[in-house]
């Protein structure tokens, strides 16, 4: 079975969780399913850009480029339903890993919708993003033979808040594909980042309103003022509407205890997970929360927001705190920092929980959706 996958997310400045998901569709799914071959396609880019993006995630197939640059292509797809995909003759299924939904051609179309956040939390997206997601969700409802949701929580909110009918939604959980790490390698990377020997609390993601990072910074500032603080590492991308997300007084209170390395490479990311005393994820909303699963796979003790998707993913293997409640987050993180046995127990529980989200299960479930729509 040949599946054409939109790989365009890999070329974003901040690919995010959808980028990691796209990379898995292109690499680990065909590796785990010997009857699936993936064919990446992208918008029009300068020579070398597409090859570098695919090579960075280990994708080996050459991409089929569409004739328009991304902004024009995507707007035309969701607004006008054209142009048709080109150069993909002989594929059995087309898979859009996001709501950049291409026109329906002569083969079945699968669309992954990760959540209904732009509908539920419109204030956390810029106006252009809200319009694009609204059009994309409507296009998915009209065109997709099947819609993949990455959690049961996401499936429920998509069915309740978008035009996509529940009967067309299939739940395929995200998966973790963690590398093997040795202690020497971890120490070398942490030393390069200036973190060797420093207990730290880690956050990973895109700095945008929905992620609740201000709550975490505030909680760490509370601990710092009480003399119980640790280093806080914010690793990831600068997202949208980020002005004013972090309280200036809290940032000042943390001082050099706040480390912001920005976007980090794969090796650095996994070493940061492994070395963290606590991984904190204070999002107001998530469709899945892949960084939580990745952190648990490395044995990090996790504190996460008490919201439906994160309850589903953590399955009792994390401490949960109300989103936006700085005092409760300070209490949860501070308690773990002061209690090594509890951190170790929680880390072991998280590692065991993450094993149930193996890549083979995700690959098999994704292939089942392909087979369903192609039959």
What pLDDT is stored for residue 244 in this prediction? 73
Q: Are the CB atoms for 267 and 180 separated by under 8 Å?
A: no
Which tokens in the block code for residue 2? 């040949």
Taken in order of first residue, the domains within the chain and their CATH numbers are 2-175+358-374 (3.40.50.2000), 183-357 (3.40.50.2000)
Determine whether 355 is exposed, middle or buried from the number of CB atoms within 10 Å of its CB (0-12, 13-18, 19+): exposed
What pLDDT is stored for residue 242 in this prediction? 67
What is the value of pTM for the model shown?
Answer: 0.94
Q: Are the CB atoms for 319 and 295 separated by under 8 Å?
A: no
Q: In the β-sheet with 231-238, what is the strand arrangement from edge to edge?
A: 258-262, 231-238, 200-207, 278-281, 301-305, 319-321
Which tokens in the block code for residue 164? 């996509």
CA distance 210 to 106: 38
pLDDT tens, per residue, the chain with 375 residues: 999 999 999 998 888 889 999 999 999 999 999 999 999 999 999 889 999 999 999 998 889 999 999 999 999 999 999 999 999 999 999 999 999 999 998 999 999 999 999 999 999 999 999 999 999 999 999 999 999 999 999 999 999 999 999 999 999 999 998 888 888 999 999 999 999 889 999 999 988 899 999 999 999 999 999 988 799 999 988 766 667 789 899 999 999 999 999 888 889 999 999 999 999 999 999 999 999 999 999 999 999 999 999 999 999 999 999 999 999 999 999 999 999 999 999 999 999 999 999 999 999 999 999 999 999
Half-sphere exposure in the Cβ direction for 147 (13 Å, CA): 33
What pLDDT is stored for residue 14 in this prediction? 81
Per-position DSSP letters for 179-225, written without gaps between them = PP--HHHHHHHHHHTT-TT--EEEEEEEESGGG-HHHHHHHHHHHHH
What pLDDT is stored for residue 60 in this prediction? 82
CA distance 43 to 63: 10
């Amino acid at each position: 079975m040949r599946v054409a996958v939109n790989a365009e997310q890999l070329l974003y400045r901040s690919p995010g969780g959808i980028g990691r998901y796209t990379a898995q569709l292109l690499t680990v799914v065909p590796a785990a399913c010997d009857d699936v071959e993936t064919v990446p396609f992208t918008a029009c880019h300068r020579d070398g850009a597409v090859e570098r993006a695919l090579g960075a995630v280990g994708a080996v197939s050459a991409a089929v480029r569409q004739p328009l640059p991304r902004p024009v292509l995507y707007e035309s797809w969701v607004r006008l339903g054209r142009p048709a995909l080109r150069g993909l003759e002989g594929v059995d299924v087309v898979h859009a890993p996001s709501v950049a939904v291409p026109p329906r051609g002569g083969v079945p179309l699968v669309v992954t919708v990760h959540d209904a956040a732009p509908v539920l939390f419109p204030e956390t997206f810029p106006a252009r993003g809200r319009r694009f997601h609204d059009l994309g969700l409507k296009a998915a409802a009209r065109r997709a033979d099947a819609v993949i949701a990455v959690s049961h929580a996401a499936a429920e909110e998509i069915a309740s808040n978008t035009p996509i009918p529940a009967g067309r939604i299939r739940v395929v959980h995200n998966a973790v594909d963690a590398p093997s790490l040795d202690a020497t390698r971890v120490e070398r990377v942490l030393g390069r980042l200036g973190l060797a020997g420093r207990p730290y609390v880690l956050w990973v993601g895109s700095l945008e309103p929905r992620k609740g990072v201000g709550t975490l910074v505030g909680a760490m500032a509370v601990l710092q003022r009480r003399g119980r603080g640790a280093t806080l590492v914010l690793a990831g991308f600068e997202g949208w509407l980020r002005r004013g997300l972090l309280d200036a007084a809290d940032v000042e209170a943390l001082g050099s205890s706040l480390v912001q390395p920005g976007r980090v490479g794969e090796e650095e990311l996994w070493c940061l997970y492994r070395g963290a005393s606590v991984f904190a994820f204070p999002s107001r909303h998530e469709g899945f929360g892949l960084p939580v699963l990745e952190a648990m796979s490395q044995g990090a003790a996790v504190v996460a927001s008490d919201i439906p998707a994160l309850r589903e993913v953590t399955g009792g293997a994390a401490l949960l705190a109300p989103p936006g409640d700085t005092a409760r987050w300070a209490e949860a993180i501070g308690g773990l920092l002061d209690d090594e046995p509890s951190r170790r127990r929680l880390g072991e529980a998280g590692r065991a929980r993450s094993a149930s989200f193996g890549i083979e299960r995700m690959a098999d479930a994704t292939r089942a959706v392909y087979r369903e729509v192609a039959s």
